[in-house]
Amino acid sequence: MDIQVSSNFERLLFEAGGRDAAAVRRNMSSLAQSGAFTIDKPALAAIRAEFDSGSTSEVETAATIGSVLASSGELVDPHTAVGLKVAQQHLNRAPMIALATAHPGKFHDAVAKASGLKPDLPQRLSRLMMADEKMSVLPSDAASVKNFILEKADNVS
């Protein structure tokens, strides 16, 4: 269950690093090449001021999927299980709210192995896993993004 390189993490690096896109690209390139990079001290201080963190193993993640199912009847995905396990480690530090981050059917094999259940995506979402990915490259400015969204929204109605 590899969730190491999420787009949310890249956005965090971008904001904490003073919105320096070139620095984020260098970090991501270094990560791809060597498996590591160094966050500069000011960016790391900004992140530490806002976040706490923790980790859990794949075995613990699978166990959390099973224990959540046994205790609540809810089947959770691996991302949510990681969040729940780490939240449990920090319960004495601050109040916690946990929100599911994905549907268990998106991670069919991992969830089935952990829970003994075979989750499927809801029918309305099942075609998404096989659909062609669509992407639009836009200029890096708010007006272009806003106009693109408004243009697409007008075509939906």
- Domains of the chain, by residue range, sit at 7-50, 53-157
Per-residue pLDDT, 156: 64
H-state helical runs in 7-100: 7-16, 21-34, 41-50, 58-72, 78-89
Q: Tally the residues of the chain.
A: 157
Per-residue pLDDT, 93: 80
75: left (phi over 0), alpha (psi -120 to 50) or beta: beta
Per-residue pLDDT, 90: 86
> Given a cut of 80, is residue 3 above it in pLDDT?
no
Confidence of residue 1 (pLDDT cuts 50, 70, 90): very low
* Token pair belonging to 46: 């900004």
Per-residue pLDDT, 104: 94
pTM of the predicted model as reported, rounded to 2 decimal places: 0.60
